[in-house]
Amino acid sequence: MFSHILKLIINQWRGNLWILAELFISFICIWQVGNVFSSLLSHKLRDTGFDLEHVYRVTTAIREKDSPSYDPDSPLTDDWKELVERVRRCPGVESVGLTSYTAFPYTGSTNGRSYFGDTTRTTALRGQLTPDVIRVLHITSPSPEVDLVKETSTGQTCFLVSPQAMEQLYDKNTVRCRIYTKDERDKAYPGILCSYLTNEYADNNDNRALWEIWSEGRMIEKNANKDLTMLIRVHPDADHDFRETFLSTMRAQLTAGNLSIVNLTRMEDYRTYILNLSSINLMYGAGYFLAAFFFICAFLGIIGTFWFRTESRTSEIGLRMALGATRRQVRWQMIGEGLMLFGIVWLPAVIVSYVLRTAVWDNETLLSDTVLFITLTAVTTVLLMLLIVAGIWIPARQASRINPVDALHYE
Amino acid sequence: MWKTYLRQIRYLLKENKFFSLVYILGTALSITMIMLILITYYINTANIGVEDKRDRMFFFTRAYVVKPGTDATGDKFYDGLQSSSPVGHKLIEKYMYPLKTPEAKSLVVNMQSVVYNKTKQVNEEMSAISTDADFWKMFSMRFLAGGPFSDVDVKSNARKVVIDESTARALFGKTDVVNYPIDIDWKEYRVCGVVEDVPSYLSDAYAHLWLPYTTATSRFFRGGNNDLRDIQGPAKMYLLGYERSDQELIRQEMEHQIQKLNAPAKKSHFTLNHQPDTALESLFRMSSDPYDKIYTRMQVVLVVIIVLLILPALNLSGLIVARMKKRGEEIGVRKAFGASVWNIMGQLFLENFVQMLIGGIIGLCLSCGLFQLVRNTLLVSYRTAGNDLSVKGVDVLNFFHIINFSTICYVILICFLLNLISTLLPAWRYARISIVEALNRR
């Protein structure tokens, strides 16, 4: 059977070239789409060290001096303290934290600076958080023995160090360390390893970060005039129409001095917005579409080619059936031909895919290269085989329905 | 003759239903994909709704600070680039307002303002545009009451504001509210005009409030902190030419102004980096790239379109060949009765074109529905950043902004190209076959 099909293929090599090219290109295209997907997927599955469910970002606005109702006797620091306390007392609110504009999830900040270990140096993203932000975002540490909330709530300044930054300063297994800043080279601050990444799609350089933990008082003192951001975690039971409930129940308390709460945004919505803005969602969408597109193109090509071939080989099929071949055998012979053609093209396609593996997308995946390559190749192979069987089945079924007498009549 | 052709097409469609289905769906798929790209292009660049002068509008959106003598093209640009940000209002006031070539020039700052809603007794965050009087020459807003603020209002810091219909209804319960007081950023403004709502996908004009930039809250107008602090800020500039071809003249005049700005030798120079852009160019401009990257990105999109066109066309051509094989005798008979090669090719073209058009219509409907579903992904871009889309998302698109004369022309053109690529070769091959051979096939 095997050598028989091979002979058939060789005899019609000219007609087969087209389908070989088709399968070759389809394999490479589907492989590449898979590569992009696996990369996006590995980012998506990354442990970001935070949890956005039931978290809201509170938008505030400051009354400026040019407003007639500006109150010169109400310093902004007092306004912030008052407002934070009011929000904390609001029913349904579990915890309230303050961060600088550069430190909350999906902020997209590239604000960085140099930090030092005992003998090493790194440039890392910077930003400030209050210990309560750890409660709000459920920030975790890769090391289970660390209780981040407890260790950072001492009132002293300390640092949360991301694994990538820790690797540069000490080594990746270090959990607690000493951090020195550029301005105070002789003062050591405690540093603790954390998993917090502000964006799972950021590349590895952007995951190097040192988050400074400031007490709430210090944060307000230093940042009240800048872009201070309030994040709140809401109790799951209270998180139904929370925005509306909050804005209406707090209506009379939303303004303290020159500071007002003007809006509440669900952090999950903010995440969607940022992923749209940075075209991550576009890449996912384009990936799905292109995968479907290559598939359907390959499907069309295979159907078209086999249609043509069965059409021109009707007499041969009739002859086979007259000589005792069953319809089933005829169909399987055709499918065998298709799969054999795929077999011929498989190795070159795999080799080219391997050579081009980083050409379209430099995959920064969690899997090692070899595992990824084998998985992708296996998945692509199985998918294309299914496609070939489906594409040949229909024309082969039509051809095998012919009456042998009719077919022989051609000759 | 035409009637015969059409009857034959109907027969062909019925004869092999599966073949027709695969063929039509193959076309529909290709057209859906291409139309998603073309509708995005159309929504962002065509003259639609209030943005009906986009073909002669130009955009100056970024201030690039570079080392003196930096080459504006290629990778050298990255070495010389010191920073890139939106434009400072002082740069526009001092160097760009004196431009003589454009018909109108407008400074625009997108921001979020706080409006006090008396009925609900709450402060609400709203998308606002701080701008000048020329803004109203760029866009054709329809005023339901009152009119825009004037140049004198802008220069005299008059607290006047134009609001849109939905804001007027939310705040006052009606639209006839000229001269009503409104509390914006804790300052009292007077409504001078009410316009019809602008959909948020028309991102250059979209806001709920439009106010004179001289009255806007001061924190939006903090300068940058390098030695060119006036050139960086929160603003952008729209320029309206008399004609599409004015772009180069405006650019030259702007370059001339920039020379004045850069004249005192400093550590940093300002560069236009080939601005102002057309609507299409501004879509592809990224914050810190040299301008030739704009064209590289356009080429990538063009290549994608060509691939989306050619791949299915070639595959469809396989299907056509399979069918031609069956119709050899028919062609032979037609030729025996005197049909020329062109007659036969014309018929084959028409047959396939009609099938493709069916696929095209399905494709257009699919892309229309699909576009509404993925509109946030396709239309939220850095061009719209600063609007309040983070919470609300892009408005549902007006049906006629997706399906209209232009997009239908695109579909017909794509069908024609697809048909040309997929039918030409098989039709040429089979139409030239000799009569005897064709008749003798079976």
The pLDDT score that the predictor gives to residue B381 is 67
Q: Cα-flanking dihedrals φ and ψ of residue A100, to 5°?
A: -75, 165
The residue of chain B nearest to residue A299, with distances taken between CA atoms, is B315
Q: Give the pLDDT mean for A269-277.
A: 86
Q: Determine the Cα–Cα distance for residues A218 and B249; give it in Å rounded to an integer.
A: 54
Torsion of the alpha carbons at A65, A70, A74 and A76, rounded to the nearest 10: -50
Q: Determine the Cα–Cα distance for residues B394 and B368; give it in Å rounded to an integer.
A: 15
Reduce the secondary structure of A120-178 to three states and give it as a string: CEEEEEEEEECHHHHHHHCCCCCCCCCCHHHHHCCCCCEEEECHHHHHHHCCCCCCEEE
Contact assignment for B318 to A64 by CB distance below 8 Å: no
Q: Is B434 helix (H, G, I), strand (E, B) or coil?
A: coil
Q: Which of B33, B121, B315 sits opposite A304 (nearest CB)?
A: B315
Are A142 and A163 in contact by the 8 Å Cβ rule? The answer is yes
Q: Which of A70, A304, A410 sits opposite B442 (nearest CB)?
A: A410
Tell me the HSE value of B72 on the side-chain side, using a 13 A CA sphere: 13
Cβ within 8 Å of residue B159, ≥6 positions away: B187, B188, B189, B190, B211, B212, B215
- Which tokens in the block code for residue A211? 């988050």
Q: Give the pLDDT mean for A281-285.
A: 80
pLDDT tens track, chain B, 442 positions:
678 778 877 887 787 777 788 888 888 888 898 899 999 999 999 999 999 999 999 999 988 888 887 776 777 888 888 888 888 888 898 899 999 999 999 999 988 889 998 888 888 888 899 999 999 999 999 999 999 999 999 999 999 999 999 999 999 999 999 999 999 989 999 999 999 999 888 889 999 999 999 888 666 665 555 556 678 888 899 999 999 999 999 999 999 998 888 877 677 888 888 889 999 998 888 877 888 888 988 998 898 888 888 888 877 887 787 777 777 778 888 888 888 888 888 888 888 888 889 999 999 999 999 999 888 888 876 665 555 555 577 888 888 888 889 899 999 999 998 888 888 888 888 887 777 777 765 4
Q: Determine the Cα–Cα distance for residues B291 and B70; give it in Å rounded to an integer.
A: 13
Kindly state the percentage of chain A with pLDDT values over 70: 93
Q: Which of A260, A281, A292 sits opposite B377 (nearest CB)?
A: A281
pLDDT (tens digit per residue) in A165-202: 998 899 888 889 999 988 888 889 999 999 888 888 87
- Which tokens in the block code for residue B42? 């159309």
Strands, DSSP E only, in B158-221? Answer: 160-164, 181-184, 187-195, 209-212
In the predicted structure, residue A303 carries a pLDDT above the cut 80: no
Q: Cα-flanking dihedrals φ and ψ of residue B436, to 5°?
A: -60, -45
One-letter identity of residue B216: A
Query: How many CB pairs (< 8 A) connect A and B?
Result: 120
Give A232's strand partners.
A56, A96
Are B10 and B354 in contact by the 8 Å Cβ rule? The answer is no
Residue of B116, B44, B115, B5 lying closest to B301 (CA atoms): B44
Q: Which of A276, A300, A311 sits opposite B315 (nearest CB)?
A: A300
Residues in chain A: 411
Contact assignment for A69 to B186 by CB distance below 8 Å: yes
Mean pLDDT, chain A, rounded, equals 84
Residue in B314, B381, B390 to test binding to A, most A beta-carbons within 10 Å: B390
DSSP A276-315: HHTTHHHHHHHHHHHHHHHHHHHHHHHHHHHHHHHHHTHH
Q: Which residues in chain A touch residue B319, judged by CB atoms under 8 angstroms apart?
A: 300, 303-304, 307
Distance of CA B130 to the CA centre of its chain: 23
Helical residues (DSSP H) of B198-291, grouped into ranges: 246-262, 279-284
Listing from the earlier edge strand, what are the strands of the sheet with B63-66?
B81-85, B63-66, B269-271
What is the number of other CB atoms lying within 10 angstroms of the CB of residue A237? 8
Instruction: Tell me the CA distances in angstroms from A221 to A190, B7, B29, one per residue in order.
Output: 22, 83, 59
The pLDDT score that the predictor gives to residue B270 is 87
Contact assignment for B187 to A262 by CB distance below 8 Å: no
Closest approach of chain A CAs to the CA of B382, in angstroms?
6
Contact assignment for A64 to B185 by CB distance below 8 Å: yes
- Which tokens in the block code for residue B339? 């049909």
Closest approach of chain B CAs to the CA of A339, in angstroms?
19
Helices (runs of H) and strands (runs of E) counted in chain A? 14, 11
Q: Which of B188, B377, B442 sits opposite A276 (nearest CB)?
A: B377
Q: Determine the Cα–Cα distance for residues A131 and A133; give it in Å rounded to an integer.
A: 5
The pLDDT score that the predictor gives to residue B384 is 58
The pLDDT score that the predictor gives to residue A237 is 92
Closest approach of chain A CAs to the CA of B252, in angstroms?
33
One-letter identity of residue B110: N
Contact assignment for A312 to B325 by CB distance below 8 Å: yes
Distance of CA B15 to the CA centre of its chain: 43
Instruction: Tell me the CA distances in angstroms from B112 to B127, B282, B389, one per residue in order.
Output: 5, 23, 11
- Which tokens in the block code for residue B366? 């699919």
Q: Determine the Cα–Cα distance for residues B385 and B144; give it in Å rounded to an integer.
A: 28
Instruction: Tell me the CA distances in angstroms from A317 to A320, A331, B329, one per residue in order.
Output: 5, 10, 21
**Residue B339 CB burial class (10 angstroms; 0-12, 13-18, ≥19):** middle
One-letter identity of residue A59: T
Closest approach of chain B CAs to the CA of A230, in angstroms?
16
Closest approach of chain B CAs to the CA of A245, in angstroms?
13
Contact assignment for B22 to A410 by CB distance below 8 Å: no
Instruction: Tell me the CA distances in angstroms from B221 to A271, B11, B87, B90, B174, one per residue in order.
Output: 28, 70, 10, 9, 33
DSSP A338-395: HHHHHHHHHHHHHHHHHHTTTTS-----SS-HHHHHHHHHHHHHHHHHHHHHHHHHHH
Residue in B30, B184, B315 to test binding to A, most A beta-carbons within 10 Å: B315
One-letter identity of residue B59: F
In the predicted structure, residue A231 carries a pLDDT above the cut 90: yes
- Which tokens in the block code for residue B391? 């919470």
**Residue B169 CB burial class (10 angstroms; 0-12, 13-18, ≥19):** middle
The pLDDT score that the predictor gives to residue A8 is 74
* Bridging pattern class, strands B209-212 and B122-131: parallel
Give A100's strand partners.
A228
The pLDDT score that the predictor gives to residue A362 is 63
Q: Which of B33, B186, B312 sits opposite A300 (nearest CB)?
A: B312
**Domain ranges across chain A:** 2-46+280-408, 71-257
Contact assignment for B319 to A312 by CB distance below 8 Å: no
Cβ within 8 Å of residue B273, ≥6 positions away: B62, B64, B72, B77, B290, B291
- Which tokens in the block code for residue A47? 């442990």
The pLDDT score that the predictor gives to residue B230 is 76
Residue of A247, A246, A222 lying closest to A80 (CA atoms): A222
The pLDDT score that the predictor gives to residue A390 is 80
CA angle A365, A199, A146 (to 5 degrees): 90
In the predicted structure, residue A347 carries a pLDDT above the cut 80: yes
Contact assignment for A285 to B374 by CB distance below 8 Å: yes
Q: Cα-flanking dihedrals φ and ψ of residue A12, to 5°?
A: -115, 40
DSSP B269-315: EEE-TTPPBPHHHHHH--TT--THHHHHHHHHHHHHHHHHHHHHHHH
Q: Is B231 helix (H, G, I), strand (E, B) or coil?
A: helix
Residues in chain B: 442
Residue scoring higher pLDDT (A299 or A337): A337
pTM: 0.84
Maximum Cα–Cα distance for chain B, whole Å? 91
pLDDT (tens digit per residue) in A24-74: 888 888 888 888 778 778 778 887 889 999 999 998 988 888 888 899 998
One-letter identity of residue B249: L
Is the bond into B276 cis (omega within 30 degrees of 0)?
Answer: yes
